[in-house]
Amino acid sequence: MADKATELGEFGFAGDDRVVPFQVEGLDVRGRAVQLGPLVNTILARHDYPAPVARLLAEAMVLTVLIGTSLKFQGKFTVQTKSNGPVDLLVVDFSTPEDVRAYARFDEDALKTAVEEDRTSPEALLGEGVLAFTIDQGSFMQPYQGIVPLDGTSLEEIAGVYFRQSEQIPTRVRLGVAEFFDRDEEGHPRRGWRAGGLIAQFLPEAPERMRQPDLHGGDGDDGEYVFSEDDAWSEAQVLVDTVDADELTDPQIGIERLLFRLFHERGVRVYQPQPVFDRCSCSREKIKGVLKSFSDEEIEESQEDGAITVTCEFCSTTYRYEAAEVREV
């Protein structure tokens, strides 16, 4: 007799690279959770990033996927950092409803020094700068951008600040990344990556229950005030904070089992998972269109042996164009 296929809500139904929406009615909480396996591993292996850079970019990918899959329009959601740390640029694009691409830029010498001095936390690698969340709904809509300062706090905390400033929704984010080692089909050792995350948001029917403490006002603000947070949201945050990186990334646990562990006493409901894929939006025609905007002088400077070669920073695909082809009207 054939094994019975798993159904929605059963442990192991979603699997890797599938975002699971969930709801905890007893706490007025909604959210999404995901474990990234082949997707994150393929993207990181393509660039062969040093481990600290790979770990940081994987966190950014999970955060982007968790937010991007909640969008209900055709367009693009981008998470991008610009900072003064060893990793001065992270870019993760999510093209709705399911396509992900990611890239990191880093200074090799600065990264080497940071590793030698044991300064490899995400906060130390990024340094000071900004994290931008950009929503682009297409050519007929003005892009929206929310900017949050990188001030030495984690990506989890920064994401919470973003939701608090832009949408006034109490939000808790957990992110985890794990490096693993195994052997390929020929017995050679290889390194791989897994990542996972969870986002929980407090969405009660009564808007006044979403009230949050004021953000620090800067110099002269001693922060002395009395604030009473909603009990349901306080409980939800405590539960979410019990999750560790091992649970978020362990394939033996899975998203359904993790959500059950966290919220079963309050009644957790999961919905149909949404798959996400490693897909770049670059193409030969798109890049050719960019090159055609070059002046004759720029084309001359860019070519080598009568041709121009362009490599996509995201997917590492290389495109080669004859100089005469680019000059075509």
- Among the listed residues 296, 297, 285, the one whose alpha carbon sits nearest the alpha carbon of residue 321: 285
The pLDDT score that the predictor gives to residue 172 is 95
CB contact at 8 A, 9 and 263: no
- Lowest mean pLDDT of 108-112, 140-144, 197-201, name the range: 140-144
Burial class of residue 232 in the structure, from the number of CB atoms within 10 Å of its CB (0-12 exposed, 13-18 middle, 19+ buried): middle
Beta carbons within 10 angstroms of residue 91's beta carbon: 20
Question: Where does the pLDDT of residue 1 fall: very low under 50, low under 70, confident under 90, or very high at 90 and above?
Answer: very low
37: three-class secondary structure by DSSP: coil
Beta carbons within 10 angstroms of residue 316's beta carbon: 12
Position 2 pLDDT exceeds 60: no
The pLDDT score that the predictor gives to residue 211 is 66
Across 185-204, average pLDDT = 89
The pLDDT score that the predictor gives to residue 225 is 45
CA distance 28 to 99: 30
Q: Give tens-digit pLDDT for 65-76.
A: 999 999 988 899
CA distance 158 to 317: 32
41: three-class secondary structure by DSSP: helix
The pLDDT score that the predictor gives to residue 184 is 72
Average pLDDT over the chain reads 88
Position 27 pLDDT exceeds 80: yes
Tokens matching residue 50: 């040093």
Is pTM beyond 0.85? Reply is yes
CA distance 129 to 210: 29
Across 96-100, average pLDDT = 95
Position 169 pLDDT exceeds 70: yes
The pLDDT score that the predictor gives to residue 81 is 96
Give the percent of the chain with pLDDT over 90: 63
The pLDDT score that the predictor gives to residue 3 is 60
Position 226 pLDDT exceeds 50: no
Residues with Cβ within 8 Å of 317's Cβ and at least 6 positions away in sequence, in order, are: 280, 282, 311
AA letter at 229: E
Q: Give tens-digit pLDDT for 261-311.
A: 999 999 999 999 999 999 999 999 999 888 888 888 888 888 888 889 999
Tokens matching residue 109: 């010498």
- Among the listed residues 61, 291, 96, 293, the one whose alpha carbon sits nearest the alpha carbon of residue 177: 61
Question: Where does the pLDDT of residue 329 fall: very low under 50, low under 70, confident under 90, or very high at 90 and above?
Answer: very low
Q: Give the angle 107-110-114 at the CA atoms, nearest 5°.
A: 130
